[in-house]
Amino acid sequence: MAGSTDFDLYQLSEEHQMLRDTVRSLAEAKIAPFAAEVDEQARFPQEALDALVGADLHAVHVPEEYGGAGADALATVLVIEEVARVCASSSLIPAVNKLGSLPVILSGSEDLKKKYLGPLAKGDAMFSYCLSEPDAGSDAAGMKTKAVRDGDHYVLNGVKRWITNAGVSEYYTVMAVTDPEKRSKGISAFVVEKSDEGVSFGAPEKKLGIKGSPTREVYLDNVRIPADRMIGAEGTGFATAMKTLDHTRITIAAQALGIAQGALDYAKGYVKERKQFGKAIADFQGIQFMLADMAMKLEAARQLTYAAAAKSERVEADLTFFGAAAKCYASDVAMEVTTDAVQLLGGYGYTRDYPVERMMRDAKITQIYEGTNQVQRIVMARNLP
């Protein structure tokens, strides 16, 4: 698995290129055939999970010492991008496995890493991330979920909202208030298991897009967990959560790239076949200009995302800016490219017989989750290089 971080941003290393080709072949053969059905039925893409686990591509970021592939940040981006090119819902399997488990990798004890990263690497469990709440979205530090110490345990109570893959994942990184007086410095992180007594889930949200990835509330009702399931020291949970997002916003940029590339690929093929006024519409300059703009912006987003992945791997000082910039720009581009793809297909683009309307619906969430693009602009302004 790709492990080198010394890559040229303008040309993938041979190892990364081989990974991209492998994932693309797998995605086209084993994930793409189910994408429309997964969306139509709003069902979890089990076929994608099985294919990704079978090829050891479901959580490539897990370090080798815990049984993982030890892939670098760019390799993780490539996996997510290529899966998202055919099915955005399925790309949330590797993306959210990284999001949920990265707090453990960054701040967890050695025992916690061994206990939870091994099953994740094997494909025996998925990992979700519980930060947002009904009244704490962009203002995540305003959360109300509490964790109260009781001897050798903590007792958790609260509600987490907008939790990706909730109910399917076995493990959950949960942020909870341990000291209400300290606001963000009074928040701690914990690993909660689906099987813990008192854990339950709300009904799946009925969403515009990414319908194959369940989004549900997570209810914590007197959930009693051992104190050693705390990730890092007490009061460091919010800092870990923010540090995690610096790295994982790049995975959302990767998802946006994949969705946009899938839409551009389909539109390119369509305009060559579709004839009006006696010739292929690809021969009209207006259409050519649209495609040129789509491809130009997508390539700019890709280079920014790959540069951010390099900074993530090296944990460079300007990672916060680049992570926010990549996520913000790539998702804006994805929304624009998918909307233009629908336009290029005309009336056909507006129907479910063609994949671009699904891609347009899927693209919208990339501008919202892991921090809205308005929040990304605040983050960038505060962290100008």
Residue 196: HSE in the Cβ half-sphere, 13 Å Cα cutoff: 28
pLDDT of residue 4: 46
Same CATH topology for 14-122 and 127-235: the answer is: no
Q: What is the DSSP letter of 11?
A: B
What is the pLDDT confidence band of residue 11, given thresholds at 50, 70 and 90? Answer: confident
Q: pLDDT of 181-193, one tens digit each?
A: 999 999 999 999 9
Which overall architecture, per CATH, does domain 238-382 show? Up-down Bundle (1.20)
Identify any residues that bridge with 284 across adjacent strands, giving them in sequence order: none
Higher local confidence (pLDDT), 12 or 380: 380
Determine the Cα–Cα distance for residues 184 and 141; give it in Å rounded to an integer.
5
Host H or E run for residue 175: strand 171-177
Q: Mind listing the pLDDT tens digit for each residue in 305-316?
A: 999 999 999 999
**Rounded-to-integer distance, Cα 274 and Cα 266, Å:** 12
In the chain the first and final C-alpha atoms are separated, in Å, by 32
Phi then psi for residue 132, to 5 deg, are -70, 155
Annotated catalytic residue within 133, 217, 313, 370: 370
Give the model's confidence band at 304: pLDDT under 50 very low, under 70 low, under 90 confident, else very high. Answer: very high
List the structure tokens of 243. Answer: 């540090």
Name the residue with tokens 């929304």. 335
Mean pLDDT of the 261-275 span:
98
Cα–Cα distance for residue pair 92/375, rounded to 1 Å = 21
The tens digit of pLDDT for each residue in 42-77 reads: 999 999 999 999 999 999 999 999 999 999 999 999
Closest CA to 368 of 339, 313, 327: 327
Q: 6-20, 145-159, 182-196: lowest mean pLDDT where?
A: 6-20
Structural tokens at position 149: 């110490």
pLDDT at 273: 98
Q: How many CB atoms lie within 10 A of CB 18?
A: 12
- For residue 327, the one-letter residue type is K
pLDDT reported for residue 5: 47
Asked if residue 10 has pLDDT above 50, the reply is yes
Q: Please check whether residue 177 is in contact with residue 234, taking contact to mean a CB–CB distance below 8 angstroms.
A: no
Helix (H, G, I), strand (E, B) or coil at 41: helix
Domain boundaries along the sequence of the chain: 14-122, 127-235, 238-382
pLDDT one-digit tens code per residue, 70-99? 999 999 999 999 999 999 999 999 999 999
Q: What is the mean pLDDT of residues 298-306?
A: 97
Share of the chain above pLDDT 70, in %: 97
- Active-site residue flag, 217: no
The answer to whether the beta carbons of residues 187 and 153 sit under 8 Å apart is: no
CATH node for 14-122: 1.10.540.10
Report the chain's mean pLDDT, rounded to a whole number: 96
Q: Does the domain spanning 127-235 belong to CATH 3.40.640.10?
A: no
pLDDT score at 2: 52
Range in 5-14, 98-107, 196-205, 254-263 the model is least confident about: 5-14
Strand ranges, E, within 277-355: 279-280
Tell me how far apart the alpha carbons of residues 329 and 45 are, in angstroms, rounded to a whole number.
Answer: 28
